[in-house]
Structure 1
């Protein structure tokens, strides 16, 4: 019998465990208390020590095993290995008959916990792999072990392979699963849906017997899951609720799938690592993800590199950093088409992250001056050594690329319009004997089809001080009741139009500020109000912020800044958004240089809100 243990330093690990155990015992007798995290780490150390000490490993032997005879030695070792807890077969290749031989040996190994079976089918026919997987799964289910780790990464089994392991994933054997690794398996949309259904069923059955599935690590990069697969898995994640790591890079996921995942991660409060590298967020996905991140308290690593978060998404993520992620260690927003101002906003947002070890903004669109500004910003916060390399910066966007950008934006808009049209067509389908009451989503503009009253619509269509006064003494209530604050874009439009008519005349001043208060107080107090979208839309319309959307800008007038100054002083205005105003509105630029005095007043007010002691 051959005992092959993976890794080294076993004695050191045992000594470390014994030391921890001794400290725990001392704490009991001396009346000292141990933190729950220490106890959890102690238990985990014990489990890992036990597993590694009882592991049979054929890892990386490069064996090609086709027949039952070719695996006789391996089968014998599996059968005779004392108290087998972990089996490593990665880096070899197994045929159908060989897999059946191993499966037979597994039927009596009820104490097995970890199956490290990645890269097991190199050179095999696509049709062979599901048969082999099905046999191995049957062997495990016959033994009835309590699996904690199942690693089938780097096996190109596709949707058929997922279907082959579906019975195993649904079975009681996987009720105890903690890590599921399916990286680079070519699952596709179909495989993603099958996997999601299997995990959902496993969770349902485990809850029914009083031992809910507590999956902690999910890895499924490079699987072409796309939006449908990601959305299906997001629903499963929402039910499971125990995930600590999600790795789904390079899956062709766009904003609908990203938005679904964003909703799901809010139901997994113990998340530590979120890796969605090399998918496509754009503004919608980035804002949805930013909204979710602010609710998470345990996240240490966020990898949104090469995700096209763009400047608007980066600003939204920066704002979420101010509200959540208190123990963040790494943030990767590289290669996301982020411009200088947004990158600096992200840098300033990490200032109060004491655990931060790395901020990666490489490969964006900063230009030489932008890179230098970013470095100076980080140095000024004594965090310069945490900023990753900027050696692959793409430079500032060039005007020559506008045509290409317009074409890409047009294609993206057409796709969005097609999705919206399909949604609207479904919504407009009347039920039996009834017409549809569903209204299409607003685009943020004020149109003739709006449900606004004639007086409000007339004012917003052609704003003037006289028009605002004509609304009468209940003008603030009318604005509050009739502007749809569930639409952040329409709220921004209304704010700018109301504030644009500001004058120092006492009656007009009072009318403008009362309406601004009524509008924003209702908006910010609404749970459904998209605050990030409102701020970014406001900045875009004022020409202070580049957008991937085609947003019509308006010239900044003093009333805009006076109204903002007034709003910033109010309790309803979120303090975390004030920094965004500081970075964009208050900096010297062509758009706001004509309003020097109001801008200076706004700056002073904002600084007092951010640092009351000043």
Structure 2
């Protein structure tokens, strides 16, 4: 149970009638040994909560407590964590059945059930199934099953019981309003995660989902992400110490637009890496003004990703904790991140970064030690990932184009793609979105060779569609009187990502020549303006920002590549564009300026 939820729950319990035997370290085997608890229940006219945390309960003793609970229809909160230490596997389900039977007979209306830190497993779940489906739980609001060893099968059993509970409550005219679900450290794995995602899709009332340390990989995360989207009131989302990689990160990033009320987000130790940090930063940057806590520690994020995350937090007035510890910033990177956050309204939110990893260590070594990064007991994960997308690799953070079939169903897309780009634009350039009236023969474009690099002249279309930089001589050979208008007429033949890609690369080709040609400089500034006008219009400014920063060598990508363009000339053109009052907007200008300023440090 997290501190926020526990404090909230404790405050409510203190206002109610609670019988507590917490941390007495008692061993209750039979009715005689548990007499103090039974007498307390029988002697009280009103009992809202019973706290038995930190003792050990046997079957006969549980039966005696169950009998006493029958007297209390007003009972609301079962605080029964850490209650079966040293008990036999066969004892736990029987003891749970006795406790549940007492509440069922009483007609209690339970709001809180806490069975954390009990070794339930699937066997223990058999003692809960009837109870969880009963009218006692129609009013359940908070369910804590942290560290219960449920495993995939226990997770499945829990999911089925909760779905039945939901349907039963609905049929009874008392819709289930479960708000808090905590099930960390249960080794749920993908199978359990997928099962519980079905439950979350039904409930749609959750405000907190806490599921750290469950050996869930991106396959299970993808299912969970879809269920998170259907719970728009989420305030706490904690998936710490699962293995998302960038595939899972992209799914979770898509969740954030559907969950604007989030206050605490914890994806520490999830192998998100730098590209995952980019995705989270972009998704969180504009909204989520209620955000108080963001934990992205120990994710193999390099300095670039850390800076992007910090920048994304600048408009979060309630932020009180930003954890980036244990990432690959290097000491100089940490210093620069600290310097950047001091410019914001809440610089104290940045937590101390005691475990600093050099940026060089961010790269996978490819040696024998790589296997040490895998999580134990992942046989099922390997089997599932073979069905999903090939052999599982926990260090894999790239989105690859399938050699056989791309996302649009086009074969051999890698060979046909005009611009092979990194993650922000994984699209085929000349696809079905191209204007149906476009006639490539009239444009005189060779499909499999870049003609503009083999002669000293090129048409406007060749210049625009070329994959490689062009020479100044080729730029000057463009016959159109208005080069900007001519290039835009070609670009406008394409739509969506293809339109955006052509804007970006035509800009870069002109910027490549900006130091040697005033005409190329002016053209690149105009095209930069057009690019970001389109990006703002289509709400893709963060995506385009990241991509330009990578192409200009200002932001390192894990998908390593060397730009074909003269980055110094491109930066020169960018600085010129930033000097124009009408260029883009303040957010885009400020972000570019932050990274350009680092060149002068």
Determine if the TM-score, normalized by the shorter chain, exceeds 0.5.
yes
- CA distance, structure 2, for counterparts of residue 63 and residue 464 of structure 1: 84
Q: What residue number does 2:532 align with? A: 568
- Among 174, 182, 189, the alignment partner of 2:145 is 182
Q: Which residue of 2 aligns with 1:481?
A: none
Match of 1:577 among 535, 543, 547: 543
Distance 1:418 1:82, change over 3 A: closer
Deviation at 1:80, TM superposition (A): 2.5
Match of 1:333 in 2: 296
SS at match of 1:264: helix
What is the CA–CA distance in structure 2 between the aligned matches of 1:266 and 1:202, rounded to whole Å?
Answer: 22
Alignment of 1:18-97 (within 5 A): 52-97=15-60
Please give the alpha-carbon distance, in whole angstroms, between the structure 2 residues aligned to 1:584 and 1:400. 17
Aligned to 1:284: 247
Q: Which moved more, 1:227-236 or 1:501-510?
A: 501-510
State the Cα deviation string for residues 44-87 of structure 1 (Å, max 9, x = none): 99996587431111111111010122223321221231121111
Deviations 1:467-490 (A, max 9, x none): 9xxxx99x99xxxxxxxxxxxxxx
- Residue matched to 2:114: 151
For structure 2, the residue ranges without an aligned partner over 5 or more in a row are 1-6, 391-403, 418-427, 433-438, 514-519, 556-561, 590-601
Match of 2:4 in 1: none
The aligned counterpart of 2:570 is 595
Which has the larger helix fraction?
1
Per-residue deviation, 1:170: 1.3
Q: Equivalent residue of 2:583, what SS?
A: helix
Shift of 1:374: 0.7
Does the 8 Å contact 2:13/2:49 carry over to 1? no
CA distance in 1, matches of 2:179, 2:252: 20
Instruction: Report the counterpart of residue 422 of structure 1 in structure 2.
Output: 387
From 217, 220, 234, the counterpart of 2:180:
217
1:345 paired with 2:308, answer yes
Report if aligned partners of 1:222, 1:251 keep a CA contact under 8 Å in 2: yes
- Whether the aligned pair in 2 keeps the contact of 1:294 and 1:323 (CA below 8 Å) is no
Determine whether 1:610 maps to 2:573.
Answer: no
SS of residue in 1 equivalent to 2:365: helix
Are 2:276 and 1:313 aligned?
yes
Q: State the Cα deviation string for residues 227-253 of structure 1 (Å, max 9, x = none).
A: 111111112111101111111111111
| 1:188–1:337 CA distance, 2 compared to 1 (3 A) | same
Normalising by structure 2, we get a TM-score of: 0.74
The 2-side partners of 1:300 and 1:509 are apart by 47
State the match for 2:123 in structure 1: 160
Counterpart contact for 1:148–1:177, Cα < 8 Å: yes
> Structure 1 residues 212, 573: closer, same or farther in 2, change over 3 A?
closer
Aligned equivalents of 1:249, 1:139: Cα separation in 2: 32
**Rounded Cα–Cα distance in structure 1 between residues aligned with 2:157 and 2:213:** 19
Q: State whether residues 219 and 385 of structure 2, in contact with CA within 8 Å, keep that contact through their aligned partners in structure 1.
A: no
Cα distance in 2 for residues equivalent to 1:390 and 1:396: 14
Matches of 1:91 and 1:408, distance apart in 2? 38
SS at match of 1:56: strand
**1:147 partner SS:** coil
**Residues in 2 aligned to 1:210 and 1:447: alpha-carbon distance in whole angstroms:** 59
Q: How much has 1:611 moved relative to structure 2?
A: 2.2
**Greater CA drift, 579-588 or 189-198:** 579-588
Q: Check whether the contact 1:575–1:610 (CA below 8 A) recurs between aligned residues.
A: no
Q: Distance in 1 between matches of 2:532 and 2:362?
A: 35
Q: Which residue of 2 aligns with 1:462?
A: 449
Name the structure 1 match of 2:324. 361
Whole-angstrom CA distance in 1 between matches of 2:143 and 2:151: 17
Q: Render the CA deviation track for 1:210-236: whole Å, top value 9, x for unaligned.
A: 221111111111000011111111121
CA RMSD in angstroms, aligned pairs only: 4.3
Going from structure 1 to structure 2, the CA distance change for 1:420 and 1:153 (only over 3 Å counts) comes to: closer
Per-residue CA shift, 1:299-353, capped at 9, x if unaligned? 1111111111110010010001123312101111000000011110110111111
Counterparts in 2 of 1:202-213, with a 5 A limit?
202-213=165-176
C-alpha spacing 1:583/1:81, structure 2 compared with 1 (3 Å) = farther
Query: 3-state DSSP class of the match of 1:365?
Result: coil
**The residue matched to 2:34 in structure 1 has which SS?**
helix
Structure 1 residue matching 2:261: 3-state secondary structure: coil
Q: Distance in 2 between matches of 1:89 and 1:402?
A: 50
For 2:200, what is the secondary structure of its paired residue? helix
The 1:514/1:115 distance shift into structure 2, 3 A limit, reads farther
Q: Which runs of 5+ in 1 are unaligned?
A: 1-43, 426-437, 477-494, 526-533, 540-553
8 Å CA contact 2:151, 2:189 repeated in 1: yes
How many residue pairs get aligned? The number is 511
Is 1:201 the counterpart of 2:167? The answer is: no
Match of residue 446 from structure 1: 414
Alpha carbons of structure 1 residues 214 and 373: separation in structure 2 relative to 1, 3 Å: same
Matches within 5 A, 1:293-304: 293-304=256-267
Confirm or deny: 8 A CA contact 2:206 2:233 kept in the other structure: yes
Native 8 Å contact 2:145 2:183 kept in 1 = yes
Q: Report the CA distance shift for 1:254/1:339 in structure 2 as closer, same or farther (over 3 A).
A: same
